[in-house]
Amino acid sequence: MKEKFIIRAENLSIGYEDRVIMKDLSFEVPQGDIFIIMGGSGCGKSTLLRTLTGLIPAHAGQIWIRGTDFINGSRQEKSEVMKHSGILYQSGALFSSMTLAENVALPLQQYTSHSPDKISQIVSFKLALVGLAGYEDYYPSEISGGMRKRAGLARALALDPEMVYFDEPSAGLDPVSSKNLDDLILEINKTLGTTIIVVTHELSSIFAIGKNSIFLDKTIKTISAKGNPSDLLKNPPNEQVYEFLTRGESYEKGTK
Amino acid sequence: MVSVKTQGNNIICTLEGVLSGTTPLDIPSVLRNKKIQLVGSNIESWNTDFVVLLFNALKHFPKDNISYSQLPQGMEQLLRLAFQTPPQEKEISRAKLPFLERVGEVGINFFHCVKKGCTFIRECLVSWGRQLCGSAVYRSKDFWMILADCGPQSILIVSLISFMVGLILAFVGAIQLKTFGAQIYVASLVTIGMTRIMGAIMTGVIMAGRTGASYAATIGTMQVNEELDALQTMGISRTDFLVLPRMNALLLSMPILILLADFMGILGGCFVCVLFWDIPLSEYIKYTTNSFYLNNFLVGVFHGIVFGLIIAWCGCYFGVHCGRNADSVGAATTKAVVYSIVWMIVTTGILTVICQWLGV
């Protein structure tokens, strides 16, 4: 059971300090999947992502990542889990004082004992992988928002992680750049077998890349739907999911 | 004109004539459980001010209890749009808390702040220990860039301010000492004052405003841009990576800047004495040399090192604990400067008492 799923959450409660944002979250992310965490603005998608990446503690419940107890595990175990994870933040989160090459090289310097030459080769390859060959010496301020995201992805892929988290990958991108990033996510998933976990409310991305998904419902503060996004659209389990997936069309009208 | 009639469980509200923001309108909110029908009858003109008035009069009525009849199309659409979302049931309470609760809240916040501050200082010291063992991770390139910013690039402003402080000290001192015919002792006053404490304090204040603020703003912006989260998820200690190079840079540059400040202050004093008080240069140098005590100088440098630590800690602490919006970066920067200066003055008081006690 545990081997099949790269992430498993049981009865998870998340929030900040005393404020519970979501509760009783139970879901599994199959290995090699593209898993979408979707929901309306302010429903707690990013909070769930921050909990899954260890940035904030969970209020209650369990998370197993790669079979490791991510809530009660030791610092070393969590660090080992994070070594196998990459994260692409909404803004790219590149270090502005470093060039793209230095940004991508940072996790390699931290976790590997490769020589500077080898690191430089890996960095060039990762940047080429995301379509940024030749941009090694550029600073984040010298490239566009879409390129910054791709550079962030190159950094997230630096250590060949088993899974990559994406926080609102389409945010702030034009439709073409957004589609290109979706294509890149699909390519990475297909060619490297990387498990992709995407937090988004961008419908075009959800339908283009999502194989599995959970829908976080702000009104009931928990998951109200699970499954393939297209299947959820065909057979909406409730009004909120239908309205979300159809950009606010009336549930009664649509399901008649 | 608006007329309101109650018929059993229904209210008929008839709108007619010219309707504007000054049209008298009185629909008691106690009628909110009744059904209300808005009837337009011979409306000559209306404007959005009237719709605002009407909306506020009806906002406590449930949406389903309001019906519209013969209203101008625009007015009806506006009202339907405004009533489509029910008002927030639980309003955010921004009421001022009672005095005792406010005092309690301040006390609790202060306790949390002290706790967080102590944890941060402990992390910094542990990180320093790791550095001594050679296991702390930070880029030497970052360190040299930060050192260049807080060292060489601060020289001009530290020199200028210290020169002016020496000049002011000499002016003010000479006016008083002249009444005793002892203006030659201005050289001693400036030398002892600058080397013992003034050089260190002035450098500290300048560096708090320049470097401490810059540390808080830089790290605060990194927090806003999720760069700190990225560091954490990459398993890189933010204390090692961000705080340590900044702390080291200030610790290294402060003694040198204080040396410069002392020299420039004495030079400022010399400028006043020679040009305005007709004290010969050789006399000024002689009295300066005689008043220069190594222990005073070392006490000043020690103060500088402590100030360096305070500035680095305050700047980095408020940067790391910054919120995630532009306002927070501004607040973090202000706090970094204010707290640095306050703690420097408090520390100076404590160190002065300790030095007095030790007879230094």
- Of A149, A230, A154, which is closest to residue A192 (Cα–Cα)? A154
Q: What pLDDT does A42 receive? A: 86
Rounded to an integer, what distance in angstroms lies between the CA atom of residue B307 and that of residue B257? 12
Distance from CA of A159 to the nearest CA of B (A): 10
How many CA atoms, within 13 angstroms, populate the side-chain half-sphere of residue B333? 15
Rounded to an integer, what distance in angstroms lies between the CA atom of residue B283 and that of residue B289? 10
How many CA atoms, within 13 angstroms, populate the side-chain half-sphere of residue A47? 25
Q: What pLDDT does A255 receive? A: 58
The domain that holds A225 is classified in CATH as: 3.40.50.300
Residue A9, in any domain of the structure = no
Residue A55, in any domain of the structure = no
**In chain A, whose CA is at the least distance from the CA of B146?**
A97
- CATH 3.30.750.24 segments of chain B: 2-83
Rounded to an integer, what distance in angstroms lies between the CA atom of residue A34 and that of residue A228? 10
CB contact under 8 A, B234 and A110: yes
Which chain B residues contact residue A95 at CB under 8 A? Answer: 222, 227, 230
Question: Considering the domain B2-83, what is its CATH architecture?
Answer: 2-Layer Sandwich (3.30)
**In chain B, whose CA is at the least distance from the CA of A77?**
B235
**What total of structural domains would you count in chain A?**
1
Residue A244, in any domain of the structure = yes
Amino acid in position B111: F
Q: Residues B300-354: pLDDT tens digits?
A: 999 999 999 999 999 999 999 999 888 999 999 999 999 999 999 999 999 999 9
Cβ pair A22, A48 in contact under 8 A: yes
CB contact under 8 A, B225 and A96: yes
Residue B2 in 3-state DSSP? strand
Q: Residues A110-163: pLDDT tens digits?
A: 888 999 999 999 999 999 988 899 999 999 999 998 899 999 999 999 999 999
Residue A1 pLDDT > 60: no
CB contact under 8 A, A82 and B233: yes
Which of A91, A98, A110 minimises the CB distance to B225? A91
Mean pLDDT, chain A, integer = 89
Residue A62, in any domain of the structure = no
Tokens 């003109």 sit on residue: B45
Which of A90, A96, A110 minimises the CB distance to B137? A110
Interhelix angle for B186-193 vs B155-178, to 10°?
140
Residue A235 domain boundaries: 33-50+84-255
Q: Residues B112-149: pLDDT tens digits?
A: 989 999 999 999 999 999 999 988 888 889 999 999 99
CB contact under 8 A, A55 and B137: no
Assigned token pair, A140: 């984040």
Residue A14 pLDDT > 80: yes
Here the ipTM equals: 0.84
**What is the radius of gyration, based on Cα positions, of chain B?**
34
**A:B CB pairs within 8 Å:** 49
Mean pLDDT, chain B, integer = 90
Residue A2, in any domain of the structure = no
Q: What pLDDT does B34 receive? A: 80
Tokens 């962030």 sit on residue: A152
Residue A13, in any domain of the structure = no
pLDDT interval class at A2 (50, 70, 90): very low
Rounded to an integer, what distance in angstroms lies between the CA atom of residue B175 and that of residue B273? 11
Q: What pLDDT does A3 receive? A: 47
CA B138 to chain centre: 27
Which of B137, B142, B229 minimises the CB distance to A89? B229
Which chain A residues contact residue B225 at CB under 8 A? Answer: 91, 93, 96
Q: What is the model's pTM? A: 0.81
- Of A148, A196, A19, which is closest to residue B230 (Cα–Cα)? A148
